[in-house]
Structure 1
């Protein structure tokens, strides 16, 4: 499993870890029952705090993507494609909501925002 951390990003490190593991689950690089690296080994590899890795692993477990077995490790659970799709939709909705609010604050009309979205969708 390969994870790359961007220390200059505004995205918290634990979220970067979560996002990259989710992507690897989505593209089937990580499959059901695959073991994730231990918290300590991933922290050492990425040169970050073990607490940050633990936070990412807890987030994944709370989202139903992994299961941690004390003394054994953290494992990928069966992937529910519908759950992943719904999560992606929610994330897109959040981004769109932020973009629309930013547009409104800048005085951009609904029609202009709609036109921008349509142009982006054509690409």
Structure 2
């Protein structure tokens, strides 16, 4: 697992860690049952406080993306595919809301946004 921290980011370090692990789980790089580095090992690897990595893991556990087994470590949750899909859809909707807000600030009409999205979607599918 490769986590890259940015000092230039406005996000706190634990959020950066959490977001990157979450993304690895949601895009399938990390599968159900995969073990994560221990809190201490991750802190050492990233050269951050143990408290920082612990908080990131706790937040991921609240989201039911990882499970902690006392004495064994942290593992990617066995959450079913529907749950993971729902989580991804929620994140996609948040991004779409950002696009809607931005398009309104640009005084774009709904159809203009749809047309632009369709064009981008088609370009992405062209090899």
Do both proteins adopt the same fold according to a TM-score greater than 0.5, normalized to the shorter chain?
Answer: yes
- Ranges in structure 2 where 5+ consecutive residues have no aligned partner: none
Q: Partners in 1 of 2:103 and 2:39 — Cα distance?
A: 41
Deviation at 1:11, TM superposition (A): 4.0
Q: Partners in 2 of 1:79 and 1:17 — Cα distance?
A: 20
The residue that corresponds to 1:52 in the other structure is 52
Deviation at 1:69, TM superposition (A): 2.5
Aligned residues: 123
The residue that corresponds to 1:21 in the other structure is 21
For residues 23-73 of structure 1, the C-alpha deviation after alignment (integer angstroms, 9 at most, x for no partner) is: 433455433333211212211211222222122111211111211133332
Q: Pairwise CA RMSD of aligned residues? A: 2.1
- Ranges in structure 1 where 5+ consecutive residues have no aligned partner: none
Q: Partners in 1 of 2:112 and 2:10 — Cα distance?
A: 28
After superposition, the Cα gap between the structure-2 partners of 1:97 and 1:31, relative to the gap in structure 1 and judged at 3 Å, is closer
The residue that corresponds to 1:114 in the other structure is 114
After superposition, the Cα gap between the structure-2 partners of 1:106 and 1:24, relative to the gap in structure 1 and judged at 3 Å, is closer
Secondary structure, counterpart of 2:68 in structure 1: strand
Normalised to the residue count of structure 1, the TM-score between the two structures is 0.82
Q: Partners in 2 of 1:91 and 1:110 — Cα distance?
A: 21
- Equivalences for residues 1-123 of structure 1 within 5 A: 1-26=1-26, 28-122=28-122, 123=124
Normalised to the residue count of structure 2, the TM-score between the two structures is 0.80
